[in-house]
Chains A and B, each alone.
Chain A
Amino acid sequence: GESVGLHLPTLSVQEGDNSIINCAYSNSASDYFIWYKQESGKGPQFIIDIRSNMDKRQGQRVTVLLNKTVKHLSLQIAATQPGDSAVYFCAGYLSGGSYIPTFGRGTSLIVHP
């Protein structure tokens, strides 16, 4: 199977700083990853995804880095804003397996104005 986990349960940053949220996974056969953002009382919201044939992917103010050697991925948020305050999850899919993503525990990002 697959297990994913985030390194820190809570990350506090100042508005305008860059944020980095890290995630480790256990199964080297994982070939697709998604980062989700979850605000209080809402379901997880898709942010960005990356396949294992890439090591970097950029979106609007967000970048995901994938290091397959150490089975680690990170989500970087540039110029963090108060609206970025939420819980962030990484989810991984196993190649050749069923289409069932496994979620980590989440990192709570707190942005101070």
Chain B
Amino acid sequence: DTGVSQDPRHKITKRGQNVTFRCDPISEHNRLYWYRQTLGQGPEFLTYFQNEAQLEKSRLLSDRFSAERPKGSFSTLEIQRTEQGDSAMYLCASPERGEKLFFGSGTQLSVL
């Protein structure tokens, strides 16, 4: 157990629906990352937070995607009007002792 919790573990939705994922990072760690991973690929960076501030966003993060981290604790990633191409594993990570990222088990999204 890395201490990073993600919920839900699996999500099946129909195209066009909105979905929201939650991440609870290692407590007291001020940085939190979201990555996306498709089958056979390495994790691709989406966005990261330092406390409640969203400091960087990837070009992968279209305007249908939004992430928040109220109060600098847990974070949510919302995808609006889901498309089949959004099907992927969404990973959350937070660092311990510097840059070393610890990942949660991810949320597997399937868009039908």
Contacts and interface: CB of A to CB of B under 8 A. Distances in A.
Q: Are A and B associated in one complex? A: yes
Interface of A: 9, 32, 34, 36, 41-46, 49, 89, 91, 93, 98-106
A99 B95 contact: yes
Nearest to A42: B105
Given A34-B100, A93-B99, A99-B31, A44 B91 contact: yes
A44 B43 contact: yes
B56 A43 contact: no
Contact of A105 (B2, B41, B99): B41
A105 B102 contact: no
A42 B106 CA distance: 7
Interface of B: 2, 4, 31, 33, 35, 40-45, 48, 55-56, 91, 93, 95, 99-106, 108
B40 A43 contact: no
Contact of B105 (A9, A43, A89, A105): A43
Contacts of A43: 2, 4, 91, 93, 103-106
A99 B95 CA distance: 10
Contacts, number: 58
B42 A46 contact: no
Nearest to A105: B42
B37 to A, nearest CB: 9
B35 to A, nearest CB: 8
B44 to A, nearest CB: 7
A103 B104 CA distance: 16
A45 B103 contact: yes
A105 B43 CA distance: 8
A100 B4 CA distance: 18
A41 B105 contact: yes
16 contacts: A32-B99, A42-B106, A43-B91, A43-B106, A44-B43, A46-B100, A46-B102, A89-B43, A98-B48, A99-B48, A99-B95, A100-B48, A105-B40, A105-B41, A106-B41, A106-B42
B2 A45 contact: yes
B42 A103 contact: yes
